Amino acid sequence: MPLQTKLTKALGIEHPIVQGGMQWVGTADLAAAVSNAGGLGIITALTQPTPDALRAEIARCRKMTNKPFGVNLTILPAITPPPYAEYVTAIIESGIKVVETAGNNPGPHVKRFKAAGITVLHKCTAIRHALSAQKLGVDFLSIDGFECAGHPGEDDVTNFVLLAKAAKTLSIPFIASGGIGDARGLVAALALGAEGVNMGTRFMCTVEAPIHVDVKKAIVAADERNTALMFRTLHNTARVFKNKVSQEVVEIEKKGGATFNDIKHLVSGERGRQVYVNGDKDAGVWTAGSVIGLIDDIPTCQVLVSRMVSGAEEIIQSRLSSMLVKSKL
């Protein structure tokens, strides 16, 4: 019996599992594999160097799957920002039906996406941000707990509280993101009010993820203590894999008074990209969530999604339903 939610109905997907946008990782290869497995694959727009390159990547993905897939557009502060409006145009003109937005206020872009009939899923790390996005007219929210990889915000609220608060507060549907990598996490998210889950780190550790196998092996070998929180003193917290470089960043911050200029040579995006290309886990900083403590293999996306869903169905039908005992009165 399949798990049907507002998310699966709205997006036309088989299972309530979304592959989150990930820089350097969210290519057509991974997106197509997730979509073919019945979830929603996501191409990361800014992994592509230009809007035209994104158009080509979308076209490449369509050759690998006839299932729905989406595009992530993350809006980040930058001295010279990418041409976001041109990426939006490329997404719209390519006929994409689902977009995941994240980062800074997506307001102007949401208006364009909605005018084009695109379903917008916006990622938030706080309820106050979710309420703002709700006012902008997004269709779904992705509630990102403190366990997540990347930027978990500055409130340090884990998903057990954040999701329950979202269910009490929001008037539009949401999915859960951060700390989810197996059937138990999927069931827990649904129980807390989510319509599905968003997974990043877990999908990094699959056969189809376009990163070096040694990085995947490092994730398997790690436990839940092997992430580090950088940029705490800069009020731009980032959860990354705990390695020599991220530890050096943390030590510099501990000395006090550190500025971004003091650490920028350590945290460059190009150094992080080389981790994925060459497989040296200590070559730069790279994002990973606490869920690494639950990851102990490198399956195909099909195997991962199938066993999560079948496992969730078993938990709901057997373990949870067995707890309902008829009253003797």
Per-residue model confidence as pLDDT tens digits over 156-182: 999 999 999 999 999 999 999 999 999
For CA atoms 212, 213, 216, 222, the dihedral sign is: negative
- For the residues of 128-197, what is the DSSP string, one character each? HHHHHHHHHT-SEEEEE-TTSSB---SS---HHHHHHHHHHH-SS-EEEESS--SHHHHHHHHHTT-S-E
- Which domains are seen in the chain, by residue range? 6-211+297-321 (3.20.20.70), 227-278 (no CATH)
Confidence (pLDDT) at 2: 80
The token duo for 50 is 């230009």
Per-residue model confidence as pLDDT tens digits over 200-230: 999 999 999 999 999 999 999 999 999 999 9
Which residues make beta-bridge pairs with 205? none
Per-residue model confidence as pLDDT tens digits over 8-58: 999 999 999 999 999 999 999 999 999 999 999 999 999 999 999 999 999
pLDDT at 329 over 70: no
The mean pLDDT of 79-105, rounded to a whole number, is 95
Q: What does the DSSP 8-state code read for residue 49? A: S
The token duo for 125 is 């790390």
Distance CA 156, CA 145 (A): 8
Distance CA 196, CA 30 (A): 19
Per-residue model confidence as pLDDT tens digits over 233-255: 999 999 999 999 999 999 999 99
Per-residue model confidence as pLDDT tens digits over 4-15: 999 999 999 999
Tell me the average pLDDT of the chain.
Answer: 96
Map tokens 């705990």 to a residue.
242
